[in-house]
Structure 1
Amino acid sequence: MSTMELPSEGRCRCGQVRLKISAKPMVTMACHCTGCQRMTGGPYSLSAAIPTEGFEVTEGEPVIGGLHGDIIHHYFCPHCMSWLFTRLEGVDSFVNVRATMLNDISWYAPFIETWTSEKLPWVTTPARHSYAALPAMEDYEGLIKEYMGQVS
């Protein structure tokens, strides 16, 4: 696995919304939940938890899509409807960026996979840790420390 070059830029499919990442991910993930399957049109979504201070929208105005009125806010390009990133209400420490929106993802591999209880039976990932749903809150600190230790 190669290392993420910083800063890293990305965009939606049409280019109207652009992103800039200036901090290394805290952890990378593949989510197999049926919601992610439906929003991506694929077997899972790929994301990188980026420290909030290392994430910025540099062009365009993303809109909330996917779930509405929930504590999970999925942001999309208003024109091409590409799913760009997710923010959790009340969690200000990171932004969950869709890794495939970055211009260079040659460095990317999911470190954890979640919602394997809903994954398609033929799907595999190279994730080091797998969870039937989500990791317990107390597990995240160790997972982040382990991930950051391998990419330093």
Structure 2
Amino acid sequence: MRDWKLPREGACRCGQVRIRVSAAPLVTMACHCTGCQKMSASAFSLTAAIPAEGFAVVEGEPVIGGLHGTSRHYFCPRCLTWIFTRPEGIDWFVNVRPTMLEGAEDFAPFIETWVAEKLPFAETGAVHAYEKLPPVEDYEGLMGEFAEWER
């Protein structure tokens, strides 16, 4: 598998909240939903699904922002940068915004979701595209394919 140069550290824009990733991503994604467009102020958000044991906040105290529903979106309290998301009830991974990490160019999206809401000019180069989200039963196969794609 690719040498992810782990551990890898990163921070929000102002540097008040620092994170460390010590495990390779399970899969990488771009989300085109209008919620992610608004929270990222961009055409899509990027995500690296990191095993929970391979993620840590090493400095600062992020706060919950964005929607306060089934996913908890964590932001820096000072610069309000969106750093990571913890989906409620799914504790085994953390969705990290890979652009917070040093060497973000390694994190190309493998899957793109919510292409039904995609802005016409937005292109990611992702291998798989879904109108909404992949069916839950597809994730295991997608993660296995991602591991092979990374070789």
TM over 0.5: yes
Q: Which moved more, 1:74-83 or 1:141-150?
A: 141-150
The 5 A counterparts of 1:106-121 are 106-121=105-120
2:144 alignment partner, SS class: helix
Match of residue 79 from structure 2: 80
After TM superposition, give the deviation of residue 103 of structure 1 in Å. Answer: 1.5
1:37 alignment partner, SS class: helix
Match of residue 96 from structure 1: 95
Aligned residue pairs: how many?
Answer: 150
Contact residue 65 and residue 75 of structure 1 kept, 8 A: yes
Superimposed CA distance per residue, residues 40-63 of structure 1 (whole angstroms, 9 cap, x where no aligned partner): 110000010000000000000000
After TM superposition, give the deviation of residue 106 of structure 1 in Å. Answer: 2.2
Match of residue 22 from structure 2: 22
Q: In structure 2, what is the Cα distance between the partners aligned to 1:108 and 1:52?
A: 18
After TM superposition, give the deviation of residue 123 of structure 1 in Å. Answer: 1.1
Q: Which moved more, 1:53-62 or 1:119-128?
A: 119-128
What is the root-mean-square deviation in Å for CA atoms of aligned residues? Answer: 1.0
Q: In structure 2, what is the Cα distance between the partners aligned to 1:61 and 1:134?
A: 30
Q: In structure 2, what is the Cα distance between the partners aligned to 1:106 and 1:124?
A: 16
Match of residue 9 from structure 2: 9
Alignment pair present for 1:136 and 2:139: no
The 5 A counterparts of 1:30-45 are 30-45=30-45
Superimposed CA distance per residue, residues 5-25 of structure 1 (whole angstroms, 9 cap, x where no aligned partner): 100101000000000000000
Between the two proteins, what is the percent identity of the paired residues?
61
Match of residue 126 from structure 1: 125
Normalised by the size of structure 2, how large is the TM-score?
A: 0.97
After TM superposition, give the deviation of residue 3 of structure 1 in Å. Answer: 4.0
Q: In structure 2, what is the Cα distance between the partners aligned to 1:136 and 1:106?
A: 28
Q: In structure 2, what is the Cα distance between the partners aligned to 1:115 and 1:39?
A: 15
Normalised by the size of structure 1, how large is the TM-score?
A: 0.96
Match of residue 147 from structure 2: 148
Amino acid at match of 1:142: G
Q: In structure 2, what is the Cα distance between the partners aligned to 1:3 and 1:32?
A: 28
Amino acid at match of 1:27: V
Runs (4+) of structure 1 exceeding 3 A deviation are: none
Q: In structure 1, what is the Cα distance between the partners aligned to 2:3 and 2:112?
A: 20
Superimposed CA distance per residue, residues 69-95 of structure 1 (whole angstroms, 9 cap, x where no aligned partner): x11100000000000000011101100
